Amino acid sequence: MPPVFPMLTVLSMFYYMCLRRRARTATRGEMNSRRAIESNTRALPINVEIVQYAKEVLDFSSHYGSENSMSYTMWNLAGIPNVYPSSGDFTQTAVFRTYGTWWDRCPSARLPFKRTPSTFCSQDYVELAFEEPVYPTAVHILETYHPGAVVRILACSANPYSQNPPAEVRWEVLWSEAPTKVNGPQARQFTPCIKQINFPTNLIRLEVNSSLLDYYTELDAVVLHGVKERPVLSLKTSMIDMNDIDEDEDEEKFGCGMDTLNKQFSIVTLREWPTNGYFDKLPYESVCFCVCMLGICIVTALLFLKNLYIDIQFF
C-alpha cells in the first residue's frame, strides 16, 4: 500500500475529531472568554467590573443546525463573537428552529399548556454558563440578523461548575418585555436595563419569541458584566426630582443604571477579539477541511521529492 493512504486516513480522523470536539464542548474562544477592565495578571479586586463571554452552552430548546455540525447551532454562542458587528446570514451564529407564526398554524402544532400564565410569551430558550460568578451589572446580546426576539433574561443562583450543588435553586428575572419587531435586519448590540439581584450568578438564561419576525433571528455572543461584591445604590438617588427628568430623552442619552457608568469599558472589550479578515468568517468545518487538505498537499509534496531524490541517486 502506498504510504500516502495511511496519511490520508490519519488526516480524515483528525478532521472528524475536530468536528466532534467543537460540537460537544464549544470551546472556541475559551481562552478569551473572561475579560476584565484591568489587563494585568494579579488577582482582581472585588469591586472591579469583570467582563466575560459565555464559556459554555448548557441547555437549549432547539436550534436550526444538526447535532454534529457547527452551522446555525447554539454552540456558536460560546466564546468570543464570530460575526459581530457584521450583519447578514452567517452559519457561525446561533439560530433557533422557527420564526413567525406558521408553525403554530400548521396541523401538527402542539396544543398550548393550560396552566401557562397569560403574560408568558417565551417560545425558545438557551442557558449559558460563565467562568466567574458575579453580581450582574449589564448583559450585552450581540444580534447579527433580524434582532428583537429576546423577551426575557434570567439569572440562576446555582453554580454549574460547583462540586456542591445548592439545596435551593433560584431563578431571578433580570429583564422581561413583550416581543417587538425591529425595523430592519441589521446587527445590533442589545443591552436592556437589568435589575440588581442579591446573589452572584454565572448561569444566564435567554428566552426568545420569534413570532413577529419575518425570518430567523441570529445571535452571535453574550457578554456578562458584573462585580464580585454586591453593588450598593447611592443614597443620593433618592434626592433626584422626578419632574425634572425627561424619560425618553434621558434613555437615549444616558442608557440605564450601572451599565452606563461602564459603557466605555464594554466598547473597548468588544473590540478586543482577533481580526483575521474574512478568514474568521469561515465555518469551523471549512477551516478543518482546509487544514486537512494542506496536510495532504504537504505529504504529497514530500513523497514526490523523496521519489525524485531516489531517481537522481539511481541515475
Q: Are 256 and 193 in contact (CB under 8 A)?
A: yes
pLDDT per residue as tens digits for the range 256-313: 655 454 544 444 444 444 455 555 556 666 677 777 788 788 888 888 887 777 767 6
pLDDT per residue as tens digits for the range 39-84: 334 455 557 899 999 999 999 998 888 878 889 999 999 999 999 9
- Main-chain dihedrals φ then ψ at residue 109, nearest 5 degrees: -65, 145
For residue 20, pLDDT over 60 is answered with no
Query: Of 150, 268, 289, 251, which is closest to residue 209 (Cα–Cα)?
Result: 150
For residue 208, pLDDT over 50 is answered with yes
Phi and psi based region of residue 197 (left: phi greater than 0; alpha: psi -120 to 50; beta: remaining)? beta
Model confidence at 180, pLDDT cuts 50, 70, 90, reads: confident
Cis peptide upstream of residue 160 (ω within 30 degrees of 0):
no
**Which one is predicted more confidently, 193 or 21?**
193
Q: Which residue has the cell 525524485?
A: 308
Query: Of 137, 133, 141, 131, which is closest to residue 174 (Cα–Cα)?
Result: 137
- Main-chain dihedrals φ then ψ at residue 116, nearest 5 degrees: -70, 130
**Which one is predicted more confidently, 157 or 37?**
157
For residue 15, pLDDT over 80 is answered with no
Q: Which residue has the cell 429576546?
A: 150
Query: Of 48, 2, 47, 58, which is closest to residue 25 (Cα–Cα)?
Result: 58
Distance CA 128, CA 204 (A): 5
For residue 24, pLDDT over 50 is answered with no
Q: Which residues of 47-79 are buried (b: 16+ CB within 10 A; e: fewer)?
A: eebbbbbbbbbbebeebbbeeebbbbbbbbbbb
Question: What is the average pLDDT score of the chain?
Answer: 75
Distance CA 264, CA 250 (A): 18
pLDDT score of 70 = 84
Query: Of 113, 73, 68, which is closest to residue 91 (Cα–Cα)?
Result: 73
**Which one is predicted more confidently, 185 or 120?**
185
Alpha carbon of residue 297 to chain centroid: 35
pLDDT per residue as tens digits for the range 86-108: 999 999 999 998 888 766 666 77
- Written as nine digits, the cell of 41 is 495578571
3-class DSSP state for residue 165? coil
Q: Are 193 and 226 in contact (CB under 8 A)?
A: no
pLDDT score of 151 = 93
Q: Are 68 and 204 in contact (CB under 8 A)?
A: no
**Which one is predicted more confidently, 234 or 77?**
77
Phi and psi based region of residue 255 (left: phi greater than 0; alpha: psi -120 to 50; beta: remaining)? left
